[in-house]
Amino acid sequence: MKISKLFAVLLGLILLFVICGPAFAGDKTPQDTYILKGNPMGGVKFMHSAHAKDRKIKCETCHHASKPEKAATAKEQACSDCHTKVAAAPMKTNYKGAFHDSPMAKKGTCIDCHLAENAKGKKAPTKCNECHQKANV
C-alpha cells in the first residue's frame, strides 16, 4: 500500500517534469535579486521579481531589443554581457550608462521611471546612496 502510493507520487513527478520541461528549455529564469556591482560607493540591490512580477513592469522596459552594434543572443540577456565598465567600440554606452546618465543620475533606464513614480507619491530611490550601498556586496 505504502509502496504503491510512493510509486504514484514518483510517477506524478516524472509526468510533471516531462510536461513542463520543454517550456523551460532555452529561457533562463531571472534571479529574484541581483547585486549590480562596480561602483566603489557600493553595489545596487535590484529586486528583479519585485519589478518584473509584483510591479508588472514590461520586460522590454529594461531589456531593449537587439541592436546592430552588438546583436543579442537571448531575448533577455544580462546588461553586463554587452555594457562593460569601459565601452568597447562600436559600443558607446558603458555599464553605468545602461542604468543612468553621468554624473548626477538625473535620467536613464532606472531613474526616469523612479522620478515619474515619485511624482505620483511613490518612494523609489533616486539619490546615489539610496541605490549604492556598501552593505550590498
16 or 115: whose CB is closer to ligand HEC? 115
In degrees rounded to 5, what are phi and psi of residue 27? Answer: -85, 125
Does 107 bind ligand HEC (CB under 6 A)? Our answer is no
- 9-48 positions binding ligand HEC, by CB under 6 A: 28, 30, 34, 36-39, 43-48
**CB-based contacts of 134, cutoff 8 Å, min separation 6:** 41, 42
76 or 134: whose CB is closer to ligand HEC? 76
**How many positions of this chain bind ligand HEC (CB under 6 A)?**
64
Q: Which residue is nearest to ligand HEC (CB)?
A: 38
Cα(103)–Cα(132) distance, integer angstroms: 14
Count of other CB atoms within 10 angstroms of residue 67: 12
CA-based diameter of the chain, in Å? 69
Considering the complex, what minimum distance in angstroms separates the CB of residue 19 from ligand HEC?
21
Select from 6, 16, 81, 107 the one that contacts ligand HEC (CB under 6 A).
81
Options 2-10, 18-26, 120-128: segment touching ligand HEC (CB under 6 A) = 120-128
Select from 69, 88, 115, 134 the one that contacts ligand HEC (CB under 6 A).
69
Exposure string for 98-136, b = 16+ CB within 10 A, e = fewer: bbbeeeebeebebbebbeeeeeeeeeebbeeeebbeeeb
Select from 92, 107, 115, 134 the one that contacts ligand HEC (CB under 6 A).
92
Taken in order 93, 94, 98, 99, the sign of the CA dihedral is negative
**CB-based contacts of 108, cutoff 8 Å, min separation 6:** 97, 98, 99, 100, 101
Residues at the contact surface with ligand HEC, assessed by CB under 6 A:
28, 30, 34, 36-39, 43-48, 50-52, 55, 57, 59, 61-64, 67, 69-70, 72, 76-83, 85, 87, 91-93, 95-96, 98-100, 103-105, 109-111, 113-114, 117, 122-128, 130-132
